[in-house]
Amino acid sequence: METVIVAVASKRQPKLGAVAAALPSFSHQIFPGAAWEIAGEETSSGVRHTPLSKEEIMQGAKNRAEFLVKLAAEKRADWKFFVGLEGGLDVVQKDGRRWVFLENWAYVTDGLRGAFGGSGSVLMPEPLVRSVVDEGQELGHAIDIFAGGRGIRDAEGAWGILTGGRITRQEAFRVAIINAFSPFYNRAAYDAERAAANE
C-alpha cells in the first residue's frame, strides 16, 4: 500500500488536528487506497506575529508551505503535499467604519501546483481590535486576557471564544484545508478551467 505523507508547517495541535480531520473527506479521491500520514515541522511565516490583512495572512501561509518544499529537498524527504496554515486579521474600511475580521488561510502545494483556501471570517470585538491592531499585542496573548484563560490558541482558539464554541480554531483551519486542496481532489473542475483559459 502506498503511503502519502503530508508535511504541515507546524507542530501545534489545532493545525495538525485540522489536517487529520480534513484528509478523510477527500484523500481517497487523490490517491485511492493509499495510507496517509502527517509530518509536522516548525517553520517561520515570514510575516508579523499577527498579520493585519488578508494578503499578509495568505502570504504567511504560502511562505510556510514553500519553506517545507525547500526542507524536503534538503532532507530528501518523500513528502507529497506541503501545507502552510496562517491565521490573522483582515482590517476593512466600510461605510465609514473600521471592520476587523479573524480569518484562517491554508496554502497547499505538491511542489508544482499550489492553491489557497480560506476559512471564512468572524467579526472581532472592539476591545480585541484595540489590543491587537492599535496596541500591537499578539492575538494569542490578547485572547487569553480577553477571555480570562491561558493557552487558548492551542485549545479552542479565538474562533472558539468568538463563536461560543461553535467553530474552533481547528475547525476553521479544517475548512481552509479542504478549500485549498480542492484543485487536487476535484481536478475535473479545475482542469476544465485551465483548459478554457488556454483556448
CA distance 164 to 109: 33
CA distance 109 to 119: 18
Provide the CA 28 distance to its chain's centre, in angstroms. Answer: 21
User: Locate cell 503535499: which residue?
Assistant: 81
CA distance 8 to 99: 31
The residues with which 122 forms a beta bridge, in sequence order, are 102
The percent of residues above 90 in pLDDT, for the chain, comes to 88
Q: Where are the domains of the chain?
A: 3-190
**Residue whose C-alpha is closest to residue 71's, from 37, 105, 111:** 111
Residue 196 has pLDDT above 70, yes or no: no
Q: Which three cell numbers stand for residue 130?
A: 484595540
CA distance 81 to 97: 40
CA distance 151 to 12: 11
pLDDT tens column, 47-95: 999 999 999 999 999 999 999 999 999 999 999 999 999 999 999 999 9
Which CATH number does 3-190 carry?
A: 3.90.950.10
Mean pLDDT computed over 152-161: 91
Q: What is the dihedral of CA 2, 171, 48, 184, to 10 degrees?
A: 40
Residue 199 pLDDT: 57
Asked if 54 and 90 count as a contact pair (C-beta separation under 8 A), the reply is: yes
**Residue whose C-alpha is closest to residue 65's, from 85, 38, 36:** 85
Residue 195 pLDDT: 57
CA distance 153 to 139: 9
Q: How confident is the model at residue 150 (pLDDT cuts 50, 70, 90)?
A: confident
Mean pLDDT computed over 34-42: 96
pLDDT tens column, 83-141: 999 999 999 999 999 999 999 999 999 999 999 999 999 999 999 999 999 999 999 99
Q: Which three cell numbers stand for residue 12?
A: 501545534
Residue 194 pLDDT: 61
